[in-house]
């Protein structure tokens, strides 16, 4: 029974993460079908990260905005059909829903995580494990459930269980490690990694749809492979951060070779594990900032700032050149990260 109680917060957070990932993956695929423009597709993750750039008052009840966003997406998916006269309004509606979802996630994530930690015997490591498992489940559901309405309804159901935690009144006393900050610190190392990852995922749905001739199943399976890799991060051997970035660039290069489609998808498993290991290493370097939930939020916020620049920048470049330039540019980005993180030779002391 105590083990079950300690596992409940991780399961709850994992369920919420599955609903969130299913929502965002389904929205990205829906937008890629509404417009072939790389720039308009890259705006979606950039707008989703916009709330992370603002100084917002954090409160668990902000979670309700995520539910409202999914309800809006359900309405949009029902309005789209073969006889839809214009795709402009559904596209603008998707943008608005993603911004709303981002606001809800930014406002509520940190206080909810701290509430889960303070009311149970769980640890931040277990919560992160639950979130990574939820990411995998959400992406698998995106592969198995389509069209869009079959994706957004389960996403809403997965998000509902957390409403009890978000809506309950403050317990007295409820100890927290430190006050909830209104201004999160910024870390340039996390920002640079977010810039390259933002470019990778900004146009992934459009690239699968147009360049690779894929379907929603193919796009979601790439995300699922990436999510599975994040859960298997513990199997990776220890290595310097620069080697992780070099390996990611090499694996992306392999996806461009004439491999069977399944093998290309499976390459995103080690990519996911390498990115997760890089995240953990960056968070470990931020110990001076405070407790684990706060440090993970610093990673997410700083990475999101870079992700906005990376997604819009890559979308604009591909708009001017071609969509085929996307992955080579992302590979070049990982090579630059490796150079910036390369070990410095030790200086001899006199």
Report how far apart the first and last C-alpha atoms of the chain are (Å, whole number).
61
Return the pLDDT at 271: 94
Longest CA–CA span in the chain (Å) reads 78
Average pLDDT of the residues in 336-341: 89
- Residue 61: exposure state from Cβ atoms within 10 A (0-12, 13-18, ≥19): middle
Average pLDDT of the residues in 63-86: 86
Average pLDDT of the residues in 236-251: 91
Return the pLDDT at 94: 95
Token pair, residue 276, equals 């997760």
pLDDT tens digits, one per residue of 174-229? 444 455 455 667 788 899 999 999 888 888 888 777 665 666 667 888 888 888 89
Token pair, residue 283, equals 């968070």
Return the pLDDT at 206: 82
The more confidently predicted of residues 148 and 71 is: 71
Return the pLDDT at 172: 42
Site of tokens 């290069």:
253
User: What whole-number distance in Å separates Cα of residue 194 and Cα of residue 78?
Assistant: 33
Average pLDDT of the residues in 237-260: 89
Q: How many CA atoms lie within 13 A of 323 on its CB side?
A: 20
Q: How confident is the model at residue 6 (pLDDT cuts 50, 70, 90)?
A: low
Domain ranges of the chain: 2-163+183-340
The three-state (H, E, C) secondary structure of 209-227, written as one string:
HHHCCCCHHHHHHHHHHHH
pLDDT tens digits, one per residue of 285-319? 888 777 777 788 888 888 888 888 888 888 888 88
Return the DSSP state at 286. Answer: T
Helix, coil or strand: residue 146: coil
DSSP string, 226-267: HHHHHHTGGGSPP--HHHHHHHHHHHHHHHTSS--HHHHHHT
Return the pLDDT at 1: 46
pLDDT tens digits, one per residue of 119-177? 777 777 788 888 888 888 888 888 888 766 788 999 999 999 999 888 875 554 444 44
Q: What is the CA radius of gyration of the chain?
A: 20
- Cβ neighbours of 6 (radius 10 Å): 14
Chain-centroid distance, C-alpha 196: 13
Token pair, residue 230, equals 């994040």
Return the pLDDT at 54: 76
Average pLDDT of the residues in 1-30: 82
- Residue 144: exposure state from Cβ atoms within 10 A (0-12, 13-18, ≥19): middle
Return the pLDDT at 176: 45
The CATH number of 2-163+183-340, from 2.70.70.10, 3.30.450.20, 3.30.1330.40, 1.20.1250.20, is: 1.20.1250.20
The more confidently predicted of residues 349 and 265 is: 265
Return the pLDDT at 170: 56
Q: Is the pLDDT of residue 109 over 90?
A: no
146 phi, psi to nearest 5 deg: -160, 150
Q: Is the pLDDT of residue 279 over 80?
A: yes
């Amino acid at each position: 029974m105590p083990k079950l109680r300690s596992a409940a917060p991780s399961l709850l957070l994992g369920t919420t993460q599955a609903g969130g990932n299913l929502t965002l993956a389904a929205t990205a695929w829906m937008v890629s079908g509404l417009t072939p423009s790389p720039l308009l597709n890259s705006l979606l993750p950039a707008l989703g990260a916009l709330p992370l750039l603002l100084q917002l008052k954090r409160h668990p009840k902000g979670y309700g905005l995520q539910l409202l966003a999914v309800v809006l997406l359900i309405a949009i998916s029902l309005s789209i059909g073969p006889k839809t006269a214009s795709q402009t309004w559904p596209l603008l509606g998707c943008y608005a829903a993603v911004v709303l979802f981002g606001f809800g996630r930014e406002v509520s994530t940190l206080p909810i995580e701290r509430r889960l930690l303070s009311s149970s015997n769980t640890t931040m490591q277990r919560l992160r494990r639950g979130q990574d498992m939820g990411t995998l489940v959400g992406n698998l559901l995106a592969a198995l459930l389509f069209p869009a309405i079959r994706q957004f309804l389960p996403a809403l159901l997965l998000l509902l269980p957390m409403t009890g935690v978000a809506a309950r009144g403050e317990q007295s006393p409820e100890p927290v490690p430190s006050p909830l900050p209104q201004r999160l610190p910024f870390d340039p190392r996390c920002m640079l990694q977010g810039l390259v990852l933002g470019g990778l995922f900004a146009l992934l749905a459009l690239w699968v749809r147009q360049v690779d001739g894929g379907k929603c199943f193919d796009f979601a399976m790439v995300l699922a492979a990436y999510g599975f890799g994040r859960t298997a991060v513990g199997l990776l051997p220890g290595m310097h951060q620069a080697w992780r970035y070099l390996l990611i660039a090499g694996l992306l290069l392999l996806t461009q070779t004439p491999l069977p489609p399944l093998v290309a998808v499976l390459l995103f498993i080690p990519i996911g594990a390498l990115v997760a290991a890089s995240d953990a290493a960056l968070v470990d370097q931020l110990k001076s900032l405070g407790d684990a939930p706060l440090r993970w939020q610093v990673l997410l916020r700083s990475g999101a700032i870079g992700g906005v620049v990376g997604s819009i920048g890559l979308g604009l470049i591909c708009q001017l050149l071609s969509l085929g330039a996307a992955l080579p540019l992302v590979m070049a980005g990982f090579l630059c990260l490796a150079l910036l993180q390369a070990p410095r030779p030790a200086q001899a002391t006199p």
